Amino acid sequence: MGSEKELPVALLQSLEGVPGFHRQAFEAIHRSGEQVTSVRINPAKAAEAARGIESFKTTLPFSSAIPWTQQGYYLTERPFFTFDPLLHAGAYYVQEASSMFVEQAMRQTLDLSVKLRVLDGCAAPGGKSTHLQSLISAESLLVSNEVIKTRASILEENLVKWGGMNVMVTNNDPADFSKLENFFDVMVIDAPCSGSGLFRREPEAIGEWSPHSVQLCSQRQQRILADYYPALADGGTLIYSTCSYSKEEDEQILDWLLQNFELDSLPLQLQKEWGIVEVQSPERRGYGYRFFPDQVKGEGFFLAAFRKKDGGDFHYRPSKKPKLQKASKAETAAVMPWLKPGADVSIWKQQEQLLAFPALLEQELLVVADHLYIRHAGVTIGKLAGQQLVPDHALALSTLLKTSTVAVSLKKEDALQYLRKEQVILQDAPTGWALVKYENLPLGWVKVLPNRVNNYYPSNWRILKSGSN
Ligand code: SAM
């Protein structure tokens, strides 16, 4: 069924003359009501799933690979994702296909095999962050910042499910990052925007659009970029993106960046069949990449990449009073048997919680902790009660957890029962902590007692809907 809402005339008029904008085809695709559904798989979890990516195909109707990413797939239809335990295991992320083009910008402008410090500056709910984490090396760091507190919690949930260790979730204003001058090698700014690129998928958003909101978004984008800019190192890559078609938020921002900062615009290689349109900004000829849904199998999107040409070295002055403390030898010894043997981690203590962070990133952890509010770092391991660890949910979902941890495998119906935080019945499980698995991927913890099983799934993450498909 087609969309009832008409596209704003002021938007259509403002796009006349934009390369790649064909009004008739653009209006027709919005009226068609056609929906494109896509997911990006988590390579770390696919590797651990019972039958690799085949496990995913039992619940996801894959159609074809998205050509500009090695990790994304179109689906033939939109399943009811909530009732797929694999989603809750962090096996994949439901994400719009065009926005996965960030992978091309990363691969074409950076050597991803080396150690990089990466900032995702507008990170919630975590589509780009989970993708970036799958692209960077294990020795690299991802700082995912979200300024709005309520949105930072969903960001944290999605990154915990993704299961990687080399990440911090911060909840700061972009201006706070000026204290980390020249710290980052890569900065991804997927800016808040007027959102016209999503009108096909969310026609109800059409009513909120106005030329005035485009102006306000453009000014806010400039403020965000100016606030974050000092934290990018000399030679670092800046990736800017929006889901708006408006020149004020796209080409004009490129001109503004090139006029006000020492940046080189970076062209990206495209394949013709992708249908992506290369544009250049009117004043400074900065390269941008436009996605129109009548030409691309995806929603409206815009992306541009730059290389910074100024700034000095980052100087780290350790604070006399570090905000984080290393765990004691005894605490570390209690935790290590839960982790994969040989994992190169340091164990830290934040209040009563123990957390694991890559040993190679110790300096980075201390620097960020000195200057920003860290909401989450690495993998939360749990708390000690006496000598015994009470494992945290994040440990269950982490790829750091020892593979031979006691586990019970559930079929789909029982896994959903577990995810609703209801009673689960397990046959022959030994008493103590056990992982609940589906297709060999952990969903969370249970504690098996002689006469019952306690379900430790986090209450605020549980499935509230009834049904199973
Ligand atoms: N990158 C995310 C993803 O791929 O899932 C989507 C980001 S969304 C387009 C923009 C984000 O910027 C929102 O989470 C919003 O809360 C945040 N934001 C809003 N105002 C902001 C500001 N003034 N400074 C920084 N971020 C802001």
Tokens of 252: 């004009």
Per the prediction, the chain carries an average pLDDT of: 96
- For residue 37 the two structure tokens come to 């559904």
Question: 227 to each of 173, 344, 445, how far by Cα in Å?
Answer: 9, 34, 41
Structure tokens at 292: 């129109």
pLDDT band at 3 (very low <50, low <70, confident <90, very high): very low
pLDDT band at 319 (very low <50, low <70, confident <90, very high): confident
Strand partners, 145: 170
Q: Please identify, by atom number, the ligand 1 atom nearest to the C-alpha of residue 120.
A: 1
| Helix 127-135 vs helix 149-162: crossing angle, to nearest 10 | 40
Q: Is 119 in the pocket of ligand 1 (CB under 6 A)?
A: no
**Ligand 1 contact via 224 beta carbon (within 6 Å):** yes
Q: How far is the CA of 150 from the centre of ligand 1 (A)?
A: 12
Yes or no: say if 438 and 410 are a contact pair by the CB < 8 Å rule. yes
| Residue 191 Cα to ligand 1 middle (Å) | 6
Q: Give the mean pLDDT of 286-312.
A: 97
* Predicted local distance difference test score (pLDDT) of residue 4: 58
Buried/exposed code over 349-358 (b: 16+ C-beta within 10 A; e: otherwise): bbeeebbbbb
In this structure, the residue with its CA closest to atom 1 of ligand 1 is 123
Alpha carbon of 221 to ligand 1 centroid (Å): 10
Report the range of poorest mean pLDDT among 33-42, 176-185, 318-327, 386-395.
Answer: 318-327
Each residue's pLDDT tens digit, 248-295: 999 999 999 999 999 999 999 999 999 999 999 999 999 999 999 999
Residue of 128, 134, 147 best suited for mutating to test ligand 1, as the one with most atoms within 8 Å of CB: 147
Q: What is the pLDDT of residues 376-421, one digit of tens each?
A: 999 999 999 998 999 999 999 999 999 999 999 999 999 999 999 9
The pLDDT of residue 195: 97
Our answer on whether the CB atom of 304 is closer than 6 Å to any ligand 1 atom is no
- Predicted confidence at residue 468, as pLDDT, reads 72
146 lines ligand 1 (CB under 6 A): yes
The average pLDDT across 132-143 equals 98
- Specify the CATH architecture of the domain 3-34+95-308: 3-Layer(aba) Sandwich (3.40)
Q: Is 190 in the pocket of ligand 1 (CB under 6 A)?
A: yes
What pLDDT was estimated at residue 427?
Answer: 82
What is the CATH number that goes with domain 318-403?
3.10.450.720
Name which residue leads in pLDDT, 314 or 215.
215
Of 356, 403, 405, which is closest to residue 138 (Cα–Cα)? 356
Residue 249: CB within 6 Å of ligand 1? Answer: no
Task: Give strand pairing partners of 38.
Answer: 74
Q: Is the CB of 128 under 6 A from ligand 1?
A: yes
Q: Which atom of ligand 1 is nearest to the CA of 224?
A: 24
Domains 3-34+95-308 and 318-403 share a fold: no
- Does the CB atom of residue 412 touch ligand 1 within 6 A? no
Closest ligand 1 atom to 223 CA: 23
pTM of the model: 0.97
pLDDT at position 213 over 90:
yes
Going by CA atoms, what residue is nearest to atom 11 of ligand 1? 122
Q: How far apart are CA 284 and CA 163, in angstroms?
A: 42
Q: Atom 19 of ligand 1 has which residue's CA nearest to it?
A: 192
Q: Does the beta carbon of 122 lie inside 6 Å of ligand 1? A: yes
Query: Is 72 close to ligand 1, i.e. is its CB under 6 Å away?
Result: no
- The rounded percent of the chain whose pLDDT value lies above 90 is 91
124 lines ligand 1 (CB under 6 A): yes
Assign residue 459 a region: left if phi > 0, alpha if psi is -120 to 50, beta otherwise?
A: alpha
Q: What's the whole-number mean pLDDT along residues 243-247?
A: 98
Asked if 412 contacts 418 with a C-beta cutoff of 8 angstroms, the reply is: no
Q: How far is the CA of 329 from the centre of ligand 1 (A)?
A: 40
Binned at pLDDT 50, 70 and 90, residue 2 comes out as very low
Contact (CB, 8 A) for 379 and 398:
yes
Question: Does residue 66 line the site of ligand 1, with CB under 6 A?
Answer: no
Q: Where are the domains of the chain?
A: 3-34+95-308, 318-403
| Residue whose CA lies nearest to ligand 1 atom number 5 | 127
Whether 1 shows a pLDDT value over 50: the answer reads no
Q: For residues 303 and 240, is the Cβ–Cβ distance under 8 A?
A: yes
Pocket test for ligand 1, best of 148, 186, 375 (most atoms within 8 A of CB): 148
Place of tokens 């935080």: 421
Candidates 245, 248, 306, 186; CA nearest to 19 is: 245
Query: CA–CA separation, 264 vs 309, rounded Å?
Result: 7
**312 pLDDT tier (thresholds 50, 70, 90):** confident
Cα distance between residue 108 and residue 206, in whole Å: 34
Which has the closest alpha carbon to 108: 158, 68, 76, 152?
A: 68
